[in-house]
Structure 1
Amino acid sequence: MTHVLILSGTGWLGSRIAQRWVDRGAEVTSVARGLRPAPDGVDLVIADRSASDAYRDVAERDWDEVVDVSSNPVHVRDAAEALAGRAAHATYVSSVSVYAGAAEEDADETAEVVPAWTEADEDDYARGKVAAEQAAVGLAARLAVVRPGLIVGPGDPTDRFGYWPARLAAAGEGPVLVPETRGRVQVIDVDDLADFIVSAGARAFDGVVNAVGEPHPFEEFLTLARQLSGHTGPVRAVPAEWLERHGVGYWMGARSLPLWLPDDMPGFATRSNAAYRAAGGRIRPLEETIARVLDDERARGVARSRGSGLERSEELDLLRLEGSGTATGV
């Protein structure tokens, strides 16, 4: 039997990885704080990874596969020290945020990364991921480092990707505010990512891959989302400068237009996925992912308050303020 240990594995992605290993007939153990239930068939070891004895119940066993999804480099380092010599293979889930630049399109895994995190009290996601990648080398002699782009799909807790199909569906015949942008949208479906991580572990894949989908112009993404959501109202595109002047942020967070990026970051959403594809990674059509997300958003409520995006009342206020605006052909 295959023995799999998943660290921090009860969240959105981690639970999917765990369930796939269970479905393969593996014996799966997850170390987590116990704030969320583990999937059926997973042995949950409740532990705080900041504690000195966090790995007490798993450090004396041998593992065929260890998966770590933590963004805390201290947690990854401590796990590597506790499990040294115990794992045949390990997978660390990193991020394309590790890259230092976003100006070059189609950059691959050899692109420069930011300096590694060094201060115990420093809160820097990208530098933390770099340090965690370095620490993960100690988990096993054979290591897969998977660098996803924006992970999307049903159940997404970040509310970024789902904002658009949900807002378009909720607006119906009403207007929707969008940014004028030459930017792209490049995502990875959470289930494609989970499938790849498990298959990579099963065959002991050793290497680094950007787990990213194909880049799509922002306007193409909106067109697909409109078609699938049935939105028939006007789409009003306004310049980035106007949005920023009126306190609308980009990428994520409250009072933002999610996924939108400044035009001087063309490389951020155009990373090369050649290595991921060569390693057997799947990229489902964007419209399929949008449809899956739209079904999930409808189940959760397309008009709900969200962690990312504009409230509908904020959007309507901005539309009124902007006036007639610029209608787009999206």
Structure 2
Amino acid sequence: MAARMLVLGGTNFIGRVFVERVLEQTTLEVTLLNRGVTAPDLFKTVPHLKCDRHDFNSCSTQLAGQHWNYLVDFSGHSHAHIENIVTNCRFDHYTYISSSAVELSWPEDQLFSMAQNKLWCEHLIQSACAEVLIFRPGYVVGRHDPTGRFEFRNGRWGWLGTEEPVQPVVEVEFLTNLMLVLILRGQTGIVRGGYARPRVEQRAHPPVSTEPDWAAVSPASTL
């Protein structure tokens, strides 16, 4: 029997390229779970579970009693997003797509709020799951990018309409290939993409005041 993979998201940019790669290169039984809003006609041969991750009952209806060998999360951005998944199904290995911003942003940076949310999600997943693989990519570039922020010129990626290079940067093809290889290997830990070391070790506080504080994040090992 083929191993089962549940992809949370999977129809936008990184998730889309990843699902394409999984379907082309493996015999995994892939199922997508998302709201059915972004590109709902993609991957018609793959089962789709439609739900809002903010809604516990919706997640429970779709996931209760199910078991997955691999869970790959492209759409987790809040406490509810994580809790409503980990409390409603069983899985062996959880891969979470975070961001380099959790290590490279600072309080005045426009990405800091997002980074704190991502870091809090990392903490929740690591607390709930034994086998966890976290990716912290830099700016991801390549096909299916819906943002239109970047352009490739003179052998480098730059911000559209400027001479400023994109840093840290990682190609979506490289990232998704590495993800699949490490997932199938059962790799755990934190993997950086596009940069080697954090700018600073920052203390993470949950973005919502009702959550408890938690300890400073220690620098991750680069794989």
TM norm. shorter chain > 0.5:
yes
CA positional deviation for 1:211? 1.5
Aligned 1:277-296 pairs, distance under 5 A: none
CA positional deviation for 1:73? 1.8
2:96 alignment partner in structure 1? 92
Give 1:80's aligned amino acid.
V
**Normalization by structure 1: what TM-score?**
0.51
2:222 alignment partner in structure 1? 275
Distance 1:32-1:178 versus aligned 2 partners, 3 A rule = closer
Aligned 1:41-52 pairs, distance under 5 A: 41-52=45-56
Candidates 69, 72, 80, aligned match of 2:77: 72
Aligned 1:1-330 pairs, distance under 5 A: 1-23=2-24, 24-35=26-37, 36-37=39-40, 38-55=42-59, 56-74=61-79, 75-83=81-89, 86-99=90-103, 124-138=113-127, 140-162=129-151, 165=153, 178=162, 185-212=167-194, 267=199, 275-276=222-223
Secondary structure at the aligned position of 2:150 is classed as coil
Matched residues in 2 for 1:62 and 1:178: separation? 48
Give 1:18's aligned amino acid.
V
CA positional deviation for 1:101? 5.7
CA positional deviation for 1:144? 0.3
Matched residues in 1 for 2:105 and 2:142: separation? 27
Matched residues in 2 for 1:196 and 1:40: separation? 25
Matched residues in 2 for 1:30 and 1:76: separation? 16
CA positional deviation for 1:200? 1.5
1:4–1:26 contact (8 Å) kept in structure 2: yes
CA deviation string 1:156-207 (max 9, x = no partner) = 1121222x64xxxxxxxxxx9745x7x7733111111111111221111011
Distance 1:139-1:189 versus aligned 2 partners, 3 A rule = farther
Structure possessing the higher radius of gyration over alpha carbons: 1
Identity of aligned residues (%): 26
CA positional deviation for 1:70? 2.2
Structure 1 residue runs of 5 or longer lacking an equivalent are: 103-113, 115-122, 166-175, 215-265, 277-330
1:280 alignment partner in structure 2? none
The number of residues matched between the two structures is: 189
CA deviation string 1:277-303 (max 9, x = no partner) = xxxxxxxxxxxxxxxxxxxxxxxxxxx
Distance 1:71-1:45 versus aligned 2 partners, 3 A rule = closer
CA positional deviation for 1:267? 4.9
**Normalization by structure 2: what TM-score?**
0.73
2:70–2:93 contact (8 Å) kept in structure 1: yes
Secondary structure at the aligned position of 1:193 is classed as helix
Distance 1:101-1:160 versus aligned 2 partners, 3 A rule = closer
Give 1:196's aligned amino acid.
L
1:211–1:273 contact (8 Å) kept in structure 2: no
Give 1:48's aligned amino acid.
D
Distance 1:177-1:140 versus aligned 2 partners, 3 A rule = closer
Matched residues in 1 for 2:9 and 2:195: separation? 25
Matched residues in 2 for 1:39 and 1:139: separation? 30
Secondary structure at the aligned position of 2:62 is classed as coil
CA positional deviation for 1:29? 0.7
Structure 2 residue runs of 5 or longer lacking an equivalent are: 154-159, 201-218
Higher strand share: 2
CA deviation string 1:268-327 (max 9, x = no partner) = 9xxx99824xxxxxxxxxxxxxxxxxxxxxxxxxxxxxxxxxxxxxxxxxxxxxxxxxxx
CA deviation string 1:129-180 (max 9, x = no partner) = 0011112225531100110000000221121222x64xxxxxxxxxx9745x
Matched residues in 2 for 1:200 and 1:186: separation? 21
CA deviation string 1:93-116 (max 9, x = no partner) = 0001001667xxxxxxxxxxx8xx
Higher helix share: 1
